[in-house]
Amino acid sequence: MHTERRILINTVMLSAGEGVGQLTNFVVVISLARAFGTAVLGQYSVSMAVGALAALLVGLGTQPLLIREISRNRVASRELLGVLLPAQVILGAVGWLLACLLCLVLIGEPGALPVIAATAGYQILLRLATTLLAPFQATEQMHASVAGQVFHRLLTLTLVLVAIAFDAAAGTVVLSLVAGAVFLIAYAWIAGSRRFGRPRLQWAPSKAGEMFRLASPFLGLTALGVIYARGGLIMLSALAGSAAVGLYAVVDRFMVAAALVPGVFNSAVYPALSRLADSAPADAQALAVRCLRLLAVATFPLATLIHIFADDIVGLVFGTGFLSASAALRVLAWTLPIRGAQWLLGSQLAAMDRQAQMAKARSIGLGAFLTLTPLLIIGGGITGLAWAVLACDGLQFVLYWRLLLRMQFALPLSRAVLPPACAALGALVADGLSVDLPLLSRVLVVTLVLAFGLWISGAIRRQDLGFLRALLGARRT
């Protein structure tokens, strides 16, 4: 199989697995919200965020290092994993304890300890499972890794739903996540041992320390992403309490599910951009321009529909007790077109080997986020946090676009953005005029106006789809 086709297939496979994972997580959040309300969902969300930070202490950026080294010498996996795993188990225990203590301080409810302990433990165990799956990723056997991840998610969801059906306590329900993570560790150990040999476990602090040192550059980029993704919930917990976190968590999780559309699209496009960046820069630029138009056509209408029907979405999916989160959902809806474009620009920069400049831009965006978020939370609660996320996503997009502008590879934004933006504006006006109609009639009116606006403005062109299909299917001879 040609290299670029293998990359594309593996990327799409990983994206599909991630899609299943995010959707099952979404159902878990819905189930917890409906069964236990905002307080428990807030405890769960804070613990999940703090647990993700604790997992950084376990991995310390070693995952990319493992993939790189094992891809060069697959027989090294037994030695590398054997040295790393014992150290990670010790670090995991320390990270779990610190995460529990920090969550108790943030939440301020000793009764939340079962939920905290199980959720933080899940994040730690998941990190260990990811380490064990590294050889499969390194050798491009993505099917084995994805299969384990999908089974683990489905098992977790099944156990959660069964526990809720039997009226189990919140802590018992969340233990389902731990059971799923333990299953994934067992799967990864057995499958990896059969394929690559059982890891040679040994307590070698000096060797493990050397691996952590070599992985430190990877840790920096990973930490920036995790802090940006999780930091808002932690600050919200400290400034507004776990109930506010529960309200924000439902809309945040909904947007994670909605963002699968641009996320999977970018994952599928990135290999083609990488392939063309060196051999045919002009074609890579043309592909990026057309992809930006396709993203805008997909994300602007989706953002518009979420904005217009935010109350209906929250009430229908999570229950009327969460309706006060609708204002935050309206704001977060507009992160879809911004993040979709930002991710595409990031893919373009990564294909051109500009990781150092991307890390600098991420650092600036994270600094702005950490500065702006507390102020907006104090002034506007969960809606303030949503505005902080939207503003900082916009800043990150501008920083990436300026990098490309300096390199004379910036994408022409107006031609890609204005047509779908005008269609979205028309739909907003139509909704304002039809606000007194029944819900189904409003949905029909808004959808028809959106479709007509996209068609009349020429938002998408037939040659764009043909060009994208040709490039993604291209093979080098």
Note the pLDDT tens digit of each residue in 289-337. 888 888 888 899 999 999 999 999 998 888 888 889 999 999 999 999 9
Q: How many domains does the chain have?
A: 1
Gap between the Cα atoms of 445 and 21, Å rounded = 34
* pLDDT computed for residue 466 by the predictor: 59
pTM of this prediction?
A: 0.75
* 74-83, 216-225, 316-325: the lowest-pLDDT one: 216-225
Higher-confidence position of 279 and 371: 371
Judged against a pLDDT cut of 70, whether residue 476 lies above it is answered with: no
Query: Is 241:42 a contact under the CB 8 Å cutoff?
Result: yes
Query: With pLDDT > 90 as the criterion, what percentage of the chain qualifies?
Result: 30
Higher-confidence position of 321 and 102: 102
Nearest-CA neighbor of 358 among 217, 214, 221, 230? Answer: 221
Within-domain flag for 97: yes
Within-domain flag for 191: yes
- How far is residue 368 from each of residues 59, 311, 361, measured CA to CA in Å? 26, 30, 11
Quote the distance between the C-alpha of residue 426 and its chain's center. Answer: 31
Higher-confidence position of 207 and 21: 207
Tokens coding 373: 């978020």
One-letter amino acid at 365 equals G
Task: Dihedral sign for Cα 65, 25, 236, 382, please.
Answer: positive
* pLDDT computed for residue 140 by the predictor: 65
Determine phi and psi for 24, rounding to 5 degrees: -65, -40
Query: Is 117:99 a contact under the CB 8 Å cutoff?
Result: no
Judged against a pLDDT cut of 60, whether residue 471 lies above it is answered with: no
Higher-confidence position of 450 and 257: 450
Within-domain flag for 284: no
Within-domain flag for 268: no
Q: At how many degrees (to 10) do helices 242-258 and 310-317 cross?
A: 110
Within-domain flag for 287: no
Average pLDDT of the chain is: 84
* 142-156, 188-202, 340-354, 455-469: the lowest-pLDDT one: 455-469
Query: Is 400:361 a contact under the CB 8 Å cutoff?
Result: yes
**Helix, strand, or coil here: 202?**
coil
Gap between the Cα atoms of 455 and 266, Å rounded = 24
Within-domain flag for 101: yes
Determine phi and psi for 460, rounding to 5 degrees: -130, 140
Within-domain flag for 231: yes
* 63-77, 87-101, 175-189: the lowest-pLDDT one: 63-77
Question: Residue 2: pLDDT band by 50, 70, 90 thresholds?
Answer: very low
* pLDDT computed for residue 334 by the predictor: 95
Domain extent at residue 186: 1-243
One-letter amino acid at 294 equals L
Rounded mean pLDDT, 339-357 = 81
Question: Residue 3: pLDDT band by 50, 70, 90 thresholds?
Answer: very low
Gap between the Cα atoms of 22 and 16, Å rounded = 10
Query: Is 85:199 a contact under the CB 8 Å cutoff?
Result: yes
Which of the 8 DSSP states describes residue 320?
G
Within-domain flag for 170: yes
